[in-house]
């Protein structure tokens, strides 16, 4: 038996090796036939006719350039018909090298899933992998080969609008999610249901100073390695085919022209074999950064640094040939970049069939397929976070006679889709997006009377609608208020200094709360917002983010208890903007406050608590969970040994529910100081009412290692706290162990 297994294994390795070898041989053979212009063409990417996702440069010659082999990739070209038209142009070129079609398929394609930050709140890695898989299936059926996702930038600053696109503030959670998403998108590359992933933005874009998009980043090497790089490495370990560099400068050097990031770390130390695409126009933007004087110098800096493909800045297209002729760019650099790109085109099977991903029948069957919609509804429900539930306002009883549904987002469809959803024709929003109003109607049918009033707009100070809203609230047994952000209020270039609920929305909440009726507030947003009055006064709050096509149904599932909420916040929610950046895994400092009221000569604000309004990892359920019986298999270990941590979790409430059991560690003393608490593992478990499960975690050397002052990954002897929590601020069980010399 063992022999058979070994032989099969060897055979599989041999086949994989020889396939790769043939691809390499094919790439080499093709490269030999290419002119310098054709090679540079492969390094160029143009935007197509769909909504532009950056400042567009008008080029009337795109089509003829494709026909002459001067462009290798397009973004923003959607659909089998459209992609086929462009591919047909490429097939007229001398060498018939197929185009690669890239697209921001960030949270679903036609079936739109919750925004990535919302999905991260589910802490459900399988669900996130599935969501990426479905997005890939739909996109790949629609002619797309490549998604510009996942975004794995760690984000500790909710002023930065792009927090909606990532997995939040935590490196460990972010790394697990990055891995799952790459696996989901790519499946088995070359399969018609898969797309290449593009891990972005390399690197440290999430640390833009002041949360202002595109701003500079200044951070220590240790911070870079410990906090910002691990999700990229995790995505690479999952097999990510491509990386995107980024707009920001890192310690004074634009990421796009940053050799240390791209050549030394990514292609050197990490041995990345795929290719790097620039961010939109980011090669040309190095002129604005003041790093290069013109487009020619920009091209030189970018190719030297390891940027393989130029998205929309035309710097490669117009300068690389000259730079090669002047011997400033060795042809080997160009060849390396071209080979990386061609290899992917071969791996995708595009040379065998350039229209492989443009199949109208498959497209018809895949888009908004009922199975996909079902998954979208499930993950949308899992992404919702129950922030507050007093007086058992939730779940709403299905016997309730009259329900008032109030707010500017109740009847919206498009807003549920969130930023970075793939633009749909207007009619498709009506056809394919479930509004919250429809979701409620679907849920209660004729059993309850539903009343609606808009109340106010998302922005502006008009309160004319308040009277009607108050009137219907007075007639109802329960009031649901749906407020928050428009979908273009969080996203790229959507930084904000003020995170309050916009317009008169919080005043509307106050007016409705004053009726004395039980009130549930739904907050739809792409980032943590500040809503202190609501949080302190309204009995029930659900953070519903932007949940996608099935938002309405998913919200109704949670409102009525058909799904028991299980989401946990992937970012800390600040009390005031003045606390930002705010994150749970901070250092203790030399003068930590003993409690929230102490301010004198301690590290605290004199006018504000240090703690967030809602902490990382926080989220309630309609049931309760008790934690007990924490056991560590050992209290002293050598670095080669492992500790098994076991504990019991009991559902002590009356309904089934899911809990995210979180394992945190603290390294008490380090040659470099360590955070007061760090997430190191978690498990999402489902328990029936009254049921108890034993959970086991394993702690090994990897989990207690960190970068020392010399950037070595080390585990240092000493004491460690083990904390098991229902959130980062709700530690239920605690023990400790010692790592021996």
Residues in contact with ligand BGC by CB under 6 A are: 53-54, 75, 104, 148, 200, 279-280, 492
Bridge partner list, 450: 403
Catalytic residue among 279, 310, 557, 681: 279
Q: Which is nearer to ligand BGC, 53 or 662 (CB)?
A: 53
Angstrom distance (rounded) from CA 314 to CA 650: 60
CB within 8 A of 266, min separation 6: which ones? 202, 232, 236, 243, 272, 276, 306
Sign of CA dihedral 581, 522, 385, 175: negative
In the complex, what is the shortest distance from the CB of residue 330 to ligand BGC, in angstroms, rounded to a whole number? 29
Convert 272-308 into a string of H (helix), E (strand) and C (coil).
CCCEEECCCCCCCCHHHHCCCCCHHHHHHHHHHHCCC
Angstrom distance (rounded) from CA 402 to CA 562: 19
Cβ atoms within 10 A of the Cβ of 98, count? 25
Look up 191 and say whether it is catalytic. Answer: no
Token output for 418: 């969130």
In the complex, what is the shortest distance from the CB of residue 283 to ligand BGC, in angstroms, rounded to a whole number? 13
CB 685 within 8 A of CB 661: yes
Q: Which is nearer to ligand BGC, 208 or 699 (CB)?
A: 208
In the complex, what is the shortest distance from the CB of residue 42 to ligand BGC, in angstroms, rounded to a whole number? 19
In the complex, what is the shortest distance from the CB of residue 311 to ligand BGC, in angstroms, rounded to a whole number? 7
In the complex, what is the shortest distance from the CB of residue 357 to ligand BGC, in angstroms, rounded to a whole number? 19
Q: Which is nearer to ligand BGC, 245 or 435 (CB)?
A: 245
Q: Helix, strand, coil shares of the chain as percentages rounded to 5?
A: 35, 20, 45
Token output for 51: 């909504």
Backbone angles phi, psi at 158, to 5 degrees: -70, -5
Question: Which residue's beta carbon is nearest to the bound ligand BGC?
Answer: 53
Q: Among 78, 76, 74, which residue's Cα sits nearest to residue 98?
A: 74
Residue 535 CB-half CA count within 13 A: 17
CB within 8 A of 15, min separation 6: which ones? none
Side-by-side strand order, sheet with 519-524: 385-389, 540-543, 519-524, 478-484, 402-406, 449-453
In the complex, what is the shortest distance from the CB of residue 200 to ligand BGC, in angstroms, rounded to a whole number? 5
Q: Which is nearer to ligand BGC, 177 or 663 (CB)?
A: 177
In the complex, what is the shortest distance from the CB of residue 696 to ligand BGC, in angstroms, rounded to a whole number? 39
Q: Among 680, 728, 703, 421, which residue's Cα sits nearest to residue 570?
A: 728
Q: Which is nearer to ligand BGC, 53 or 435 (CB)?
A: 53
In the complex, what is the shortest distance from the CB of residue 53 to ligand BGC, in angstroms, rounded to a whole number? 3
Q: Which is nearer to ligand BGC, 75 or 250 (CB)?
A: 75
Q: Which is nearer to ligand BGC, 40 or 199 (CB)?
A: 199
Q: Which is nearer to ligand BGC, 254 or 455 (CB)?
A: 254
Token output for 383: 């992404």
CB 89 within 8 A of CB 66: yes
Q: Among 511, 543, 520, which residue's Cα sits nearest to residue 440?
A: 520
CB 599 within 8 A of CB 605: yes
DSSP 266: I
In the complex, what is the shortest distance from the CB of residue 222 to ligand BGC, in angstroms, rounded to a whole number? 26
Q: Which is nearer to ligand BGC, 246 or 505 (CB)?
A: 246
Q: Which is nearer to ligand BGC, 228 or 280 (CB)?
A: 280
Residue entry with tokens 């020392």: 708
Q: Among 203, 202, 208, which residue's Cα sits nearest to residue 162?
A: 208
Run of H or E residues at 101: strand 100-103
Q: Among 553, 526, 557, which residue's Cα sits nearest to residue 115?
A: 526
CB 644 within 8 A of CB 681: no
In the complex, what is the shortest distance from the CB of residue 487 to ligand BGC, in angstroms, rounded to a whole number? 16
> What distance, in Å, lies between the first and last C-alpha atoms of the chain?
42
In the complex, what is the shortest distance from the CB of residue 631 to ligand BGC, in angstroms, rounded to a whole number? 46
Convert 449-500 into a string of H (helix), E (strand) and C (coil).
EEEEECCCCCCCCCCCCHHHHHHHHHHCCEEEEEEECCCCCCCCCCCCCCCE
Q: Which is nearer to ligand BGC, 492 or 658 (CB)?
A: 492
Could you give the residue numbers annotated as active site? 279
């Amino acid at each position: 038996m063992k022999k058979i297994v070994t032989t099969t294994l060897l055979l599989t390795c041999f086949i994989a090796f020889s396939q790769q070898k043939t691809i390499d041989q094919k790439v080499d053979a093709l490269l030999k036939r290419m002119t310098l212009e054709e090679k540079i063409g492969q390094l160029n990417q143009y935007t197509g006719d769909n909504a532009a996702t950056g400042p567009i440069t008008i080029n009337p010659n795109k089509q003829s350039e494709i026909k002459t082999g001067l462009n290798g990739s397009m973004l923003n070209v959607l659909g089998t018909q459209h992609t086929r038209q462009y591919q047909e142009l490429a097939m007229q070129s001398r060498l018939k090298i197929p185009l690669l079609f890239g697209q921001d398929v960030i949270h679903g394609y036609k079936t739109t899933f919750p925004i990535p930050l919302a999905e991260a709140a589910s802490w459900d890695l399988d669900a996130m992998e599935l969501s990426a898989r479905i997005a890939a299936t739909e996109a790949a059926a629609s002619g797309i080969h490549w998604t510009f996702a996942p975004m794995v930038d760690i984000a500790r600053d909710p002023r930065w609008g792009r927090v909606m696109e990532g997995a939040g503030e935590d490196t460990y959670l972010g790394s697990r999610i990055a891995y799952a998403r790459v696996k989901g998108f790519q499946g088995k590359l070359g399969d018609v249901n898969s797309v290449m992933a593009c891990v972005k933005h390399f690197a440290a874009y999430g640390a833009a100073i002041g949360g202002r998009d595109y701003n500079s980043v200044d951070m220590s090497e240790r911070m870079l390695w410990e906090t910002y790089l691990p999700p990229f490495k995790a995505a690479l370990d999952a097999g990510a085919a491509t990386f995107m560099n980024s707009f920001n400068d890192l310690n004074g050097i634009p990421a796009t022209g940053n050799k240390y990031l791209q050549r030394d770390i990514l292609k050197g130390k990490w041995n990345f074999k795929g290719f790097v695409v620039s961010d939109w126009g980011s090669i040309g933007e190095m002129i604005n950064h003041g790093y290069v004087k013109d487009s020619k110098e920009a091209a030189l800096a970018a190719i030297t640094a390891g940027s393989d493909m130029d998205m929309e800045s035309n710097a490669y297209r117009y300068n690389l040939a000259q730079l090669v002729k002047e011997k400033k760019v060795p042809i080997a650099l160009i060849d390396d970049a071209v080979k990386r790109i061609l290899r992917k085109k071969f791996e995708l099977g595009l040379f065998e069939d350039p229209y492989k991903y443009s199949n109208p029948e498959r497209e018809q069957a895949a888009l908004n397929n009922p199975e996909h919609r079902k998954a979208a509804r499930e993950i949308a429900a899992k992404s919702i976070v129950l922030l507050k539930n007093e007086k058992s306002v939730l779940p709403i009883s299905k016997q309730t006679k009259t329900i008032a549904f109030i707010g500017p987002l109740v009847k919206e469809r498009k807003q549920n889709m969130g930023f970075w959803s793939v633009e749909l024709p207007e009619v498709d929003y009506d056809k394919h997006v479930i509004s919250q109003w429809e979701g409620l109607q679907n849920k209660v049918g004729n059993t309850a009377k539903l009343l609606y009033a808009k109340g106010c707009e998302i922005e502006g100070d008009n309160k004319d609608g308040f009277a009607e809203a108050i009137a219907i609230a007075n007639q109802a047994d329960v009031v649901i208020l749906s407020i928050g952000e428009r979908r273009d209020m969080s996203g790229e270039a959507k930084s904000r200094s003020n995170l309050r609920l916009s317009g008169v929305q919080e005043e509307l909440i106050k007016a409705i709360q004053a009726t004395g009726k039980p009130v549930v507030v739904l907050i739809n947003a792409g980032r943590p917002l500040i809503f202190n009055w609501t949080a302190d006064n309204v009995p029930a709050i659900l953070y519903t983010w932007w949940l996608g096509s099935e938002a309405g149904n998913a919200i109704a599932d949670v409102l009525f208890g058909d799904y028991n909420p299980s989401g946990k916040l992937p970012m800390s929610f600040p009390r005031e903007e003045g606390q930002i950046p705010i994150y749970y895994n901070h250092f203790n400092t030399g003068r930590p406050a003993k409690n929230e009221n102490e301010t004198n000569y301690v590290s605290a604000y004199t006018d504000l608590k240090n703690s967030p309004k809602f902490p990382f990892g926080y989220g309630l359920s309609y049931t309760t969970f008790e934690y007990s019986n924490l056991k560590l298999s050992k209290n002293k270990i050598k670095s080669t040994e492992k500790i098994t941590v076991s504990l019991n979790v009991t559902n002590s409430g009356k309904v089934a529910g899911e809990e995210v059991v979180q394992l945190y560690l603290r390294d008490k003393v380090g040659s470099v100081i360590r955070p007061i608490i760090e997430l190191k593992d978690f498990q999402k478990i489902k328990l029936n009412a009254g049921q108890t499960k034993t959970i086991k975690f394993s702690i090994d050397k990897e989990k207690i290692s960190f970068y020392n002052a010399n950037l070595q990954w080390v585990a240092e002897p000493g004491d460690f706290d083990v904390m098991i929590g229902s959130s980062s601020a709700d530690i239920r069980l605690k023990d400790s162990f010692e790592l021996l010399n």
